[in-house]
Amino acid sequence: MPDVKMIRNLLLGSVLGMGMALAASAPSPAAPSPGGSVPIFGNGPNGGITLSTPMQIAVFMTLLALLPAAIMSITPFLRIVIVLHFLRQALGAQTTPSNQIIVGLSLFLSLLIMQPVILDIYHKGWEPMETGQLSMENAFDEGAKPLKTFLARYAREKDIRTFLEISRAPQPRTPADLDLKILIPAYILSELKAGFQIGAVLFLPFLIIDIVVASVTLSIGMVQLPPAMISAPFKILLFVLVDGWSLVIGSLMKTFY
């Protein structure tokens, strides 16, 4: 499990580093217009036109707002949180563990899996851009390669073909030629299917317990007592005896390696 302090420092350093890089690379603010409006464009270092500092800050804040959606969509977070939700429903515990615990556990497990990919993106894209070896466009292309490799590994070929047909994009010669606009939705569909498949398998043993308990209670005439109230302790006891959390999390993590 990654160190919480290390993750916090990494995130803070990334945000501060991006802000400092934007401030350092931004041109001097253009003079405000007579009407007092904020300028959208400014003069670039080589005489070209670039975004002004306020617009760069606005774009950066917009990207930060989209960060939670990216974490939930293009990481193993999607599959993990679906499986844990199905597990909670199968146990019959509606609010235990709580949503915050499920989301937190899914987030840290996703960071553990994505740590090599994030470091690869940082070394191939961000570091060369900081040192001036690559432009922003080239750094984005180089940094997207590890992410494309990760997404293509778990995206089904059928889903990729579907979105290629929808977008009417040409057939790629290699998986590296696929665009993120094709890989990301294909990966999401593939993870949804994988999460629901694993959740259905988890449901089966607990469903058998529910059926047995319901049959016994009906046969002895206990009609007014809900079978779920009787079966819940048996399901939780069985889950604890077989060390269910370790088995589920261990098996779920192995699907990504």
245's tokens: 């959390």
The phi, psi pair for 94, rounded to 5°, reads -70, -35
Average pLDDT, the chain: 74
Residues 6+ apart with CB under 8 A from 100: none
d(CA 225, CA 217) in angstroms, rounded, equals: 8
Which is more confident, 189 or 177?
Answer: 189
Q: Which tokens go with 66?
A: 């989209």
Contact 80, 109 (CB under 8 A): yes
Q: Tell me: pLDDT of 128 over 60.
A: yes
Determine how many CB atoms are found less than 10 A away from the CB of residue 227: 19
For residue 173, the 8-state DSSP code is S
Q: Which residue has the higher pLDDT, 161 or 217?
A: 161
pLDDT tens digits, one per residue of 64-122: 777 777 777 888 888 899 898 888 888 877 777 888 888 888 888 888 888 888 888 88
Say whether pTM exceeds 0.85: no
**133 pLDDT band (50/70/90 cuts)?**
confident
Check residue 32 and give its pLDDT. Answer: 43
